[in-house]
Amino acid sequence: MYQATLSRRSYRFSDLRQLMAKASPARSGDYLAEVAADSAEERMAARIALAEVPLKTFLQQLLVPYEQDEVTRLIIDSHDALAFAPISHLTVGDFRDWLLSEQADSAMLAQVAPGITPEMAAAVSKLMRNQDLILVAKKCRVITRFRNTIGLPGHLSVRLQPNHPTDSLQGIAASMLDGLLYGSGDAVVGINPASDSLPLLEKLNYMLDDVIQRFAIPTQSCVLTHVTNTLRLIERGAPVDLVFQSIAGTEAVNSGFGINLALLAEAQQAALSLNRGTLGNNVMYFETGQGSCLSSNAHHGVDQQTCEARAYAVARHFSPLLINTVVGFIGPEYLYDGKQIIRAGLEDHFCGKLLGLPLGCDVCYTNHAEADQDDMDTLLTLLATAGLTFLIGVPGADDIMLNYQSTSFHDALYIRELLGLKHAPEFADWLTKMQITDDLGRLRDTAANHPLLLALQGEQP
């Protein structure tokens, strides 16, 4: 039992799960799940009580039962007690103060990251203002490598997302080359296919690989199909760079996705066996999103933000090159408006970085949410200030296959210019060599005889 008194009224919370849920900022998904605070006063009382909870409690009082859930078992069994030692005496409130202090610099945060559980990260985020989430995330540095270097301070990468509603190879190629000419694609060139046809998925892999190899682009490709399809593609000899999978924070949801930890481990080993990376061996790419556990009715009464943080434990176990929260994609049932989407994006980024992950964000919304592109501009600017690893680049910010609004190649140009952010260094050198950018990294005018344009027309460069 946890309790706090506010305005002469005593509030009681039956267990840690309820306390965490009541302390969460208001969002539609938690109201839908009937776990949210009934009032702003109850929410504040829950935060007061949560601030007094020792961090050690999260290792003893498990929000999702150990016996029922392999994600919980992963969190507990892989917990690094030595890394946890420097902060093990803190309460959640003390932890917030410590994270904001000068003592918690980049080196110290990297040292303690393996000792922080997702529930600890989620708990402290509930006590933090937006500026706190930004400041601490900015101090967290996570660097990964495959064919280039992602996550360096002062850098921001872009996933080039050339989706097409009919998986037209020509349409995908056009969007891909469009993005490259705008300087996008250093995180990954990643396609969400409309089809699960294995022959088509194989063609997409070969097309991406052909462009990357023909122009010696220091980047990686990924066809975002189910992990079992990717395993079959590897068996067929397809040129697979990264293995993709959507993941969530409970075993039941992951089972609904058709995956488990053993399957992900098998896929990771299969990708590693190809030895296609030139600078590193981070071969996994994961996507997550607040609301996935509730939408599958597999949240165990846990609030959606804490469920989201638990997904990061799954990702962390497999040392991914990239992971991103598709923050507003699931819809207004879970994040109702621009304010909730902005807060969720900052929370997800903070929790992921604190846990040692190369977290990016699909700054996005669906057209039936109470949000617009101005809200996305705000979130993009805040996340980039917080040290975002990568964002999404879609032609015109309008994904015509997935039918949602994201960020565009032009948005990437805006945020780079505003904050002086650089491409991955190897990709930046390639852009200069290809005369796409000048020596200062500024976009150049593209002549009609540029090799990439000639390739689009089917001509020899």
Structure tokens at 228: 């079992």
DSSP helix/strand/coil, 302: coil
Instruction: Give the pLDDT band (50/70/90) at residue 439.
Output: confident
User: Rounded to whole angstroms, how far apart are CA atoms 286 and 298?
Assistant: 20
Percent of the chain scoring above 70 in pLDDT: 99
Mean pLDDT of the chain: 96
Neighbours of 378 (CB within 10 A): 16
Structure tokens at 306: 């804490």
pLDDT digit string (tens) for 272-283? 999 999 999 999
What integer pLDDT is reported at residue 440 of this predicted model?
A: 85
User: Rounded to whole angstroms, how far apart are CA atoms 398 and 402?
Assistant: 9
Residue by residue, DSSP assigns 231-282 as HHHHHTT-----EEEE--SSHHHHHHTT--HHHHHHHHHHHHHH---SS---
Instruction: Give the pLDDT band (50/70/90) at residue 453.
Output: confident
Neighbours of 10 (CB within 10 A): 9
Average pLDDT over residues 245-253: 98
What integer pLDDT is reported at residue 458 of this predicted model?
A: 63
pLDDT digit string (tens) for 56-87? 999 999 999 999 999 999 999 999 999 999 99
User: Rounded to whole angstroms, how far apart are CA atoms 62 and 158?
Assistant: 37
Q: Which helix H or strand E contains 199, and what residues bound it?
A: helix 198-214
Average pLDDT over residues 216-226: 98
Average pLDDT over residues 391-395: 97
Average pLDDT over residues 408-417: 97
pLDDT of 448 > 80? The answer is no
Instruction: Give the pLDDT band (50/70/90) at residue 452.
Output: confident
Instruction: Give the pLDDT band (50/70/90) at residue 456.
Output: low
pLDDT digit string (tens) for 318-376? 999 999 999 999 999 999 999 999 999 999 999 999 999 999 999 999 999 999 999 99
What integer pLDDT is reported at residue 117 of this predicted model?
A: 98
- For 337, which DSSP code? B
Distance, CA of 173 to chain centre = 25
What integer pLDDT is reported at residue 460 of this predicted model?
A: 42
User: Rounded to whole angstroms, how far apart are CA atoms 79 and 136?
Assistant: 22
Q: Which helix H or strand E contains 285, and what residues bound it?
A: strand 284-288
What integer pLDDT is reported at residue 19 of this predicted model?
A: 98
pLDDT digit string (tens) for 115-156? 999 999 999 999 999 999 999 999 999 999 999 999 999 999
| Cβ contact 393:364 at 8 Å | no
Rounded alpha-carbon distances, angstroms, from residue 211 to 105, 177, 204, 216, 455: 41, 9, 11, 8, 9
Rounded alpha-carbon distances, angstroms, from residue 342 to 111, 133, 328, 410: 29, 12, 9, 20
DSSP helix/strand/coil, 315: helix
- For 38, which DSSP code? S
* Residues 6 or more apart in contact with residue 429 via CB below 8 angstroms: 218
User: Rounded to whole angstroms, how far apart are CA atoms 196 and 388?
Assistant: 31
